[in-house]
Amino acid sequence: MKEYLALAALLAFVAGVASAQQDRAAPQSAEETSSAEIERLFEEDQTDRTAAPGKGIDWEQVGMRDEVRERRVKELIHSGALRTGADYFHAAMVLQHAPEPDDYLLAHDLCVVAIGKGEQRAKWLAAASLDRFLMAIGRPQRFGTQFISRRSFHPPRLAPVDPNIPDQLRRELNVPSLEEAKTREAEMRKDFEARKRAN
């Protein structure tokens, strides 16, 4: 009887191991695959914008890679592949680096959906993508997320901001206050002048 119980336990263990291996080997669902692809496109987008220590960023090369990523993200959107708040956020981040105002507006819309699905990271991006859209159509930004420099020999400055937007709304969207944005502008100017003196 003891041998029978031991054999039964061994067979149950082997069956459990085999089942776990089958589960691991099972192909991912289309939903898991598309989420993984959107996350990968997002990671590539962010990596392209992170310079290695002591090196600059080749923006021409980044722009070409951006174009490929933006096209693929739009295909995924149109195919209905976005499911989770993270999917919508990742897609929005890629599109807000596109060159067209409509892309910024689409990024903003994706952020609204992401927030509705509980993705808190999309709050700041919702504000930033709307600011980019407004600036692209010649209007002042609302939240103060965007800094510009017209020439490489001028320091970045805070782009014009609509004065009617209260800081309370900025706080709700995880955006620094207007005063904090102005402090950042001063810090960027100081860093710019220090780099200029060092060269």
Dihedral sign from CA coordinates of 95, 98, 103, 105: positive
> Minimal CA–CA distance to 92: which of 63, 70, 75?
70
97-144: pLDDT as tens digits: 999 999 999 999 999 999 999 999 999 999 999 999 999 999 999 999
Q: Provide, rounded to the nearest whole percent, the portion of the chain with pLDDT above 70.
A: 83
Helix ranges (DSSP H) in 26-165: 30-48, 59-78, 85-95, 101-116, 122-136
31-76: pLDDT as tens digits: 667 789 999 999 999 999 998 887 888 889 999 999 999 999 999 9
Look up residue 164 and give its two tokens.
């009617």
* Euclidean distance between CA atoms 111 and 125, whole angstroms: 7
Cα–Cα distance list, 12 to 4, 21, 23, 29, 186 (Å): 12, 14, 16, 28, 68
| pTM exceeding the 0.85 threshold for the entire prediction | no
